[in-house]
Structure 1
Amino acid sequence: MKRILGLLLFISFFAAFAVSVSAQSRARRVGDSPAPPAPTGSSAPTSPRPPVLGGANGTANSQQPGRTATANGPEEVEAGDVIKVNTTLVTLPVSVMDRDGRYIPNLRKEDFRLWENGVEQQVAFFSSVDKPFSVVLMIDTSGSTRFRLEDIQDAAIAFTNQLRTDDRVMIVSFDDQVRVLSEFTSDRGRLRDAIRRTRPGNGTKLYDAVDMVMNQQLNNVSGRKAIVLFTDGVDTTSRHASYASNVRDAEELDALIYPVQYDTYKDMSGGNGGGGWPGSGRVPTSPVGVLIQILGGISGGRGPISTGSGGPGTSRHEYEVANRYLHELAEKTGARGYQADSSQNLSYAFGNVAEELRRQYSLGYYPQRPAQAGERRQVKVRVNQPNLAVRTRDSYVFNPSGSVQDTAQKTAPVLQRKFAEGNLNHATNR
């Protein structure tokens, strides 16, 4: 009998021990109990959670639980729960001018306000006008430019000489091939020699060249950057990229694109090209005239478009497409386009681009609401001073991979998008 009682006691003790171990091995639950007291120097440290970035108007490093309790009771917190921190910085190049077109220096971060999709954002990054630029100078050397190549070379060299000594320039030429004649450098002698090496070729891989610069040359460049595109805008031989793909990539580009368009229509069409510029009998020679033609074609259209005589790159329709293409690249990235129908206008255009690059600000913010891949966001920037005009892009398309790794943060395209003075974020503070 004693043996039986001893065996029963042993079994009871073992069962109680097993129940205790099982209870201790269950997952911990987050309940509504009060928070534990703050740890002291003698208590064991708790495992801290990663910081959570708050909204633009909130606290940057507020601590929040990984999950919230449900109405049915506390929720289990599994091992390995992770809080992800969104570090996507959206950057915008911004130009500020008075009513006479003079650039305004010495503005501070506190002078700017910006909104995304109507919600005001906190300016988290600010760079003044004295920061250096990286500029890709793209020169069209196709057959259509053979009559003006020397003027183009002279104007391009003058442009590089107007930049600041710490600005870096890359020289790219394109015809039926795309050539990098000089990597990024601030050596004006090397840049001059590279420009003088340009020679006219056959065909025009304009779309392929722009695609290469946007997606291969600028994607590893941090800081302020721009493309100055010297061309008539006519593409004849691109195989990999298109008008549409260039514009789409420009919307995700965190760089400005300044087209400087020179007129080769008369040269290529043998005088009037079978009727001249669409709807007018001749090519407009003033920037205002070209802008009116572009805006007229975009807003209302002209009905059927007749074409001139000649092969690829000689018809009126191709030059009309060229105008729209260059206008869109500038407008999508927040830049401006220039017409260069004479040597004087060519120098004027380059001088204006150089001046604007020297006087731009850069603003950055972390969107309060995370964007989805391919999502378009509307952007508005204002200055807290009267009678000043602000020009920047008015929207961007979010690219989750980013185009630049800058200080370990992904930089979304901003703005690569839209820089035509008419339809952009070009607002005057009153």
Structure 2
Amino acid sequence: MHRLSKAAALLILAGFAGSSQPPLIPDDQAVIRVDTRLVVLHCAVVDKKGGLITNLPQSAFKVYENKVEQPIRLFRREDVPVSLGIVIDNSGSMRDKRARVEAAAVKLVKASNPQDEVFVVNFNDEAYLDVPFTSDITKLEEGVARIDSRGGTALRDAVSMSIDYLKQEGKKDKKVLLVITDGNDTASAGMTLEKLVEKIHRSEVLVYGIGILGKEDARDRKRAMRAIDAMTRASGGASYYPGEVAEVEQIAEQVAHDIRNQYVIAYSPLNQNLDGTFRSIRVVAANGRYSVRTRSGYYATPEPAKRASR
């Protein structure tokens, strides 16, 4: 089940304000009960050339859950601040690419919303949280620059750890990961790709991936692309495969632009049963004239009632 964003929750509570029943139940539990749950989507709309379309009205969109059209309850176009994680491959094969990747990470942050909070995870055989959440550019530059590239590639473990950190410590409703790697996973301990994709669906984290795969052989390149694409498609992000490492900085700016120019759409599922099943999601814009990137689905699981702060 989707956890309501603050904006969506406030919208619901505002609707209660004009009714005879107060939104807070005045008992020892102090529980806020919301009878109708919402699923909130962050949607990027692109034309055939990949250009972002940012001026569509709500009437241009249709949302489908398990192929059934759903009623849209909330719609806005807004540059909202995000909790952002930059996950950087630090394996031995990245040694000659690190300078460009470091510059790209800094450029991404500088092109992002000033209210964003950012952390950095470097990974090789293991994943390391080198910079906890901060908005300090200097700390970020130091964090991405101080590690010596060596070892293997525990990509799935690093993404899994980063999702956990985002969910536990991220203060913004919108949560994003940018993963930069140059090869296939060779060192993850127990996190399979299938488990990771399920975790992404449950987390609602938006994942972007940059695969610098020019020197990989055909088989390893295919495996690496499969992993990156699976993560980004599940979440509604995007995958990029530059021909040269010099292109990474420009791609980082493109990712920042993409994050800041998305639609927020919330719908109330016609099927309100919390049966734990996976519900597929598809969003159509302008009768299919444009492509829409958003998460491919969610698990309809119950969540604890929200308790009012004392």
Normalized against structure 2, the TM-score is what? 0.78
- The offset of 1:180, in angstroms, is 1.3
The aligned amino acid for 1:322 is A
Percentage identity across aligned positions? 29
Higher strand proportion: 2
Distance (Å, rounded) in 2 between the aligned partners of 1:251 and 1:118:
18
- CA 201–371 in structure 1, closer or farther in 2 if over 3 Å, else same: farther
The higher radius of gyration belongs to 1
The answer to whether the 8 Å contact 2:100/2:249 transfers is: no
Aligned length: 279
Q: 2:254 aligns with which of 352, 356, 363?
A: 352
- 1:224 aligns to 2:174 (yes or no): yes
- 1:361 aligns to 2:263 (yes or no): yes
- The offset of 1:106, in angstroms, is 4.4
The answer to whether the 8 Å contact 2:74/2:265 transfers is: yes
Q: 2:83 aligns with which of 134, 138, 142?
A: 134
- CA 108–220 in structure 1, closer or farther in 2 if over 3 Å, else same: farther
Q: How does 1:182-331 map to 2 (within 5 A)?
A: 182-221=131-170, 222-263=172-213, 265=215, 277-278=217-218, 316=219, 318-331=220-233
- The offset of 1:386, in angstroms, is 8.3
Partner residue in 2 for 1:376 = 278
- CA 234–152 in structure 1, closer or farther in 2 if over 3 Å, else same: same
Partner residue in 2 for 1:393 = 295
**Structure 2: gaps (5+ residues):** 1-14, 20-32
Partner residue in 1 for 2:130 = 181
Distance (Å, rounded) in 2 between the aligned partners of 1:406 and 1:206:
34
Distance (Å, rounded) in 1 between the aligned partners of 2:168 and 2:76:
20
The answer to whether the 8 Å contact 2:153/2:187 transfers is: yes
Give the secondary structure class of the aligned counterpart of 1:228: strand
Partner residue in 1 for 2:241 = 339
Distance (Å, rounded) in 1 between the aligned partners of 2:232 and 2:34:
34
Distance (Å, rounded) in 2 between the aligned partners of 1:235 and 1:386:
36
Distance (Å, rounded) in 2 between the aligned partners of 1:388 and 1:263:
29
The aligned amino acid for 1:362 is V
- CA 103–87 in structure 1, closer or farther in 2 if over 3 Å, else same: same
- The offset of 1:250, in angstroms, is 1.8
Higher helix proportion: 2
Q: How does 1:89-128 map to 2 (within 5 A)?
A: 89-128=38-77
Distance (Å, rounded) in 2 between the aligned partners of 1:406 and 1:337:
35
The aligned amino acid for 2:237 is A
Give the secondary structure class of the aligned counterpart of 2:238: coil
Question: Deviation digits for residues 325-369 of structure 1, max 9, x if unmatched?
Answer: 111111111221001331332123212211101101121122121
Distance (Å, rounded) in 2 between the aligned partners of 1:245 and 1:213:
15
Question: Deviation digits for residues 267-314 of structure 1, max 9, x if unmatched?
Answer: xxxxxxxxxx33xxxxxxxxxxxxxxxxxxxxxxxxxxxxxxxxxxxx
Normalized against structure 1, the TM-score is what? 0.58
Distance (Å, rounded) in 2 between the aligned partners of 1:101 and 1:364:
24
